[in-house]
Amino acid sequence: MRRIVIPYGVVIGVLLIAVMYVGLADAGMNVPFGRQVREIIDQQGASVLRPLRNADRICREAAQSRHELFYRLKSLQSSDQWIKWSFSPEVNKGHYTDIWTHAQTLTALFSMPEATSDDLRPLLGAIDILFAREMRAERGTIKYGWISNSEKAEVTYAIPALWIHSALAIALGRIKNLSTEDEMRYKGYLLYTQEVLANYRPAGFRGGWCFFPLQDSPSAADPYTSALALQSMLELKRYDLPWENSVKTRDELIQSTSDWLMSHFDGNAPFPGWRGVGESRERIFEGLTLYIYSLLMRAEDFAGIKISSNILSGIPRHLSECVARQYSYPVQSAEFRSLPFVSHKNITAITGETVTFLWYPWAIDCAVRWLRRSQKYGSAAADVTRVQRALGHLIVDLKDDALSNGTDGLTYEAAENLYGLAEVTLSHDKQW
């Protein structure tokens, strides 16, 4: 029998080729069976070329970003309490009463986890100005809420009212030692806002909420307004506050709105998610999808809502797509159109609005909630690795871009980023 001797050089060459192949696969290059190799690597948390940031580092960087955003946003509040709608002085001219931006920013500021009651109490004046008689749109006994900004005085939308409602719920829940008079005033504001929002549930309400008031068909409901309504009700649930003096009604609305959102999930699309309405119904909107994923996990956590498996299975896949993105990754905008309705000016109106869905803050919030859920219910090790890698990339790698680019334009972008960062904290036992 002859012994076959393989030269050491050949062995070393084969090993080098194998190492190079695994390295290329680990780096995300398009090599044969690359996805399967990465799957094995991620199951072990052993990637060298795709860094996995540890939770302490992620939370530390998130806290630094929150601190910076909090004080930059507070600096936009003028002496008359209004929050400017842009970081650019030129853009702000004539836009000091952009109620949508004002209320959204208050919600983010009140959500700052490190802020104390003393930090937040001075912001209450920015709520009071919203309830001055001249700021509220009414016609007879019908409460329409608030115009979006001073350039669109002819119509009202649900969105400013929903952000006002969220801000009120968080303020009441977080600011300690309010006087009895102040507490009653802000609870009165909350009830008034809920009466406004009743006009944004369509006739034949089935869980879906409408962007525009007094819509006469459930078909006018849309996923974005419904998601924002769910967020607002979950803030009530978090702080044990009622809807129209009833926790039962609050919980029923959380259930019906969650069910409606889940029934409108398109799991058969190439990239599953939620579609727009009207002219935008042909598209899945990614920022909207990440937002609703996040809210449904919050509803599961706060209210015991059961999330369907086809929705849950799409979350880690979606988040893993964020690993290679820059902050400048494109956002999407959707068109909203109303059915005819009688406005607060007693004019029959058919109107529209465009909304931009940011993806960055909701990818962060969604990732944290998914990781928290995985610790409670369990998930595939490879999925946990990929989601934590995505979260580390979003918070650590993109931190500087998010702070610089997110605070050089319209205020709402920085406000949503701050709100999305609010949950990036660890418990005392180092759990998400």
CA distances from 146 to 77, 108, 134, 225, 358 (A): 19, 19, 10, 15, 23
Identify the pLDDT of residue 320. Answer: 96
Q: Which residues of the chain have pLDDT under 50?
A: 10-11, 14-15, 18-19, 21-25, 33-34, 36-38
Side-chain-facing half-sphere of 70: CA atoms under 13 Å: 19
Reply yes or no on domain 54-421 having CATH 2.102.10.10.
Answer: no
Identify the pLDDT of residue 205. Answer: 94
67-113 pLDDT tens trace: 999 999 999 999 999 999 999 888 777 656 789 999 999 999 999 99
Please report, for the chain, the start and end positions of each structural domain, with discontinuous segments joined by +. 1-50, 54-421
Query: Is the torsion defined by CA of 176, 177, 179, 183 positive or negative?
Result: positive
Identify the pLDDT of residue 6. Answer: 55
369-394 pLDDT tens trace: 999 999 999 999 999 999 999 999 99
| CA triple 421-298-60, angle to 5 deg | 25
